[in-house]
Amino acid sequence: MAKEANKVLDLNKVRNIGIIAHIDAGKTTTTERVLYYTGMVHKIGEVHDGSATTDYMEQERERGITITAAAITASWKGHQVNVIDTPGHVDFTAEVQRSLRVLDGGVVVFDAVAGVEPQSETVWRQANNYSVPRICFVNKMDRTGANFQRCVDMIIERVAGNPVPIQMPHGEGADFAGIIDVITMEFITFEGDMGNDIKRHPIPEAYREEAETRRQFMIEKVVENDDFLMEKYLGGEPINNDELLGAMRAATIAGKIHPVLCGSALKNKGVQVVLDRVIDLLPSPLDIPAVKGTHPKTDEELVREAKNSEPTAALVFKIITDPFVGRLAFFRVYSGVVKAGTMMLNSSKGERERIGRIVRMFADKREDVEEVQAGDIAAILGLKETFTGDTLCDPNNPITLEKISFPEPVIELSIEPNSKQDQDKMGVALRRLAEEDPTFKIEVDDKLGQTKIKGMGELHLEILVDRMMREFGVQANVGRPRVAYRETITRPTRIDTTFKRQTGGSGQYARVVMEFEPLSEEDRTQLKPGEDSLFVDAIRGGTIPKEFIKPSFNGAKDAMSGGVMAGYPVVGIKVSLVDGASHDVDSSEMAFKVAGSMCLKEGVQKAGPVILEPSMKVEVVVPDEFTGTIVGDISSRRGIIAGMEPRGGGSTGVRASVPLGEMFGYATELRNMTQGRGSFTMEFERYTQAPAHIADEVIKGGR
């Protein structure tokens, strides 16, 4: 094992890829085929019978969905491929977010019948944010209603992609027999029980004309991005396949085109060719720009190349609590080498960490390695202070890499342990689960003596409570889900607050003048990741000494987090500290903190405060005969219909914007309205002002 670890990794032969898509598009099924064809498993596991390798949690196997991103190392044609199978359900969007942060390329899987679905749009947008090059795999070509071209058109309409089909299906639905590769101009079939026997045939006459047309389109799209090939093309010179693939790779890595492949993972057709094109078209760690970070003390910008000779820099992107071995920290090495037994600096926390065991992950199995080189992904056992988004680096050359930002939770519920023993276990369980999942928040309400847990949706909290009970043996009573409302203001105001307290000896004195106004669009561009309000130091002439400015803002921030009207956080405001006064003896940081808090509370009360409610982007897919019923029901839930479109197979997709508070229990009601034939997806869209009657209920505690 040690010998293996000490071999220098050829980074040109490494691919760090994620398989990303909407729920039920076939990501895990595709990943199972990747494992099988690369020799990592000798029997294909299936999602529908609960035996998928990457869905190793009990909750995943019972529900047939992926909840946590699973990392696997496989090898294909002399290349090392690190694959991350990510969840498709919107409640687990953080898993996709953190995976994309460390990946070099992505395979976006689409359902050939449903096309581009809502969560496909979300993952596409996340991939855009992290500039992840991607290829597309139109899966389920064997299903009735499959339509390859419609799916390609939807990639343009829904996500503004630039799809370039490099394959086409031989037949669709029940007639799907294989794929036609328009690069090599061959008809490829996958024979034998597991599709292992790949046969290449001439293209049948009935498909030749369409294949020629598609090849011509592909060449035109590729040469647009390559001046040398454009000259050859315009001069009528032939372009060979190696030149074409080289130019296609460059355009894919630059994000200018998105090559599209097709197949059926469940029927074992097309996955090996997807692997070939992952190697041909997606980047190695050397093809992506050098990672940038900052010096933890000076904030000076630093750059690290993907080389073993550079100082070590690695980013921890995921934590898993394993009941047998403790905490596992997944990490990506951007530069240098991480070795077992060495000391490293967690620059995000300023703490030193000893690197204990390093393991290469194979879903829930693992093998020990002695070192992990630049460009590679692995996991460390036993880190004490290091969590998601933290940087591990060489103590003599500190660097902090950009953290991963996560969306705020939109739903909460109360949870009470059954006994004193359960209370202790629950504290440990919730802390461990929060370490794993940055979108899971815990809040203890001292007034009510109640613990609240917050998450991204009903399913998210349901799974976490289920894990708490099963994995940690906690028995607890769970309250009904509640919406995580917010508070904000609608008009500007200026508040002058003096905090004065005289006791024996020195007293307390602070005066702050703050201006409050709703955030403008221009203000929003100045927000740092994870922030939702802006704080501006507008003190002139030193009326407040510098050391008291930060405590003034901290007081205001504390008051904002506790809310003013109904106890919900205040967001979307600009707070400017414009004036004030201090006393040589009686002023202190604590006095200014109290004054800042008092000023904020009075300011919000006088600036037209309103309650904000989360509005969700909802898509319901139902048989055509139920469309009218569904549209009426959505309208009755204060929903606004955004559009409707045919979805193939006699069904319609209804898109709408609906307040989250009206959507609790919708899954059951939808089943009742559609005889069990409807399905829906929901994701957070934005916060909107709640109507007066809803706001009154929230303030009175009735919602």
Q: Are the CB atoms for 150 and 143 separated by under 8 Å?
A: no
How far out from the chain centre does Cα 598 lie?
37
Integer Cα distance of 220 and 666 in angstroms: 47
Strands (E), 128-196: 134-139, 163-165, 167-170, 178-181, 186-191
pLDDT value, residue 449: 64
Q: 128-172 pLDDT, tens per residue?
A: 888 899 999 999 999 988 999 999 999 998 888 999 999 999 999
Confidence at residue 592, expressed as pLDDT on a 0 to 100 scale = 96
Residue 232 parent element (H or E): helix 227-234
Quote the tokens at residue 286.
């050397």
b/e per residue 344-355 (b: at least 16 CB within 10 A): bbbbbeeeebeb
In terms of Cβ atoms closer than 10 Å to its own Cβ (0-12, 13-18, 19+), residue 192 is exposed
Low-confidence stretches of the chain (pLDDT < 50) are: 1-5, 43-69, 88-91, 363
User: What is the b/e burial string over 463-480, where b = at least 16 CB atoms within 10 angstroms of the residue's CB?
Assistant: bbbebbbebbebebeeee
pLDDT score for 414: 85
Q: Would you tell me how many other CB atoms lie within 10 Å of the CB of residue 153?
A: 14
* Predicted local distance difference test score (pLDDT) of residue 323: 59
- Within a 13 Å sphere around the CA of 393, how many CA atoms are in the beta-carbon half? 25
The SS3 of residue 372 is strand
Token output for 227: 């001046």
Q: How far apart are CA 295 and CA 114, in angstroms?
A: 47
pLDDT at 260: 97
CB 401 within 8 A of CB 392: no
The pLDDT score that the predictor gives to residue 94 is 60
**Which tens digits make up the pLDDT trace of 311-338?**
999 998 887 766 566 778 889 999 999 9
511-540 burial, b for 16+ CB within 10 Å, e for fewer? bbbbbbbbbeeebeeeeeeeebbbbeeebe
pLDDT at residue 95 in the model: 59
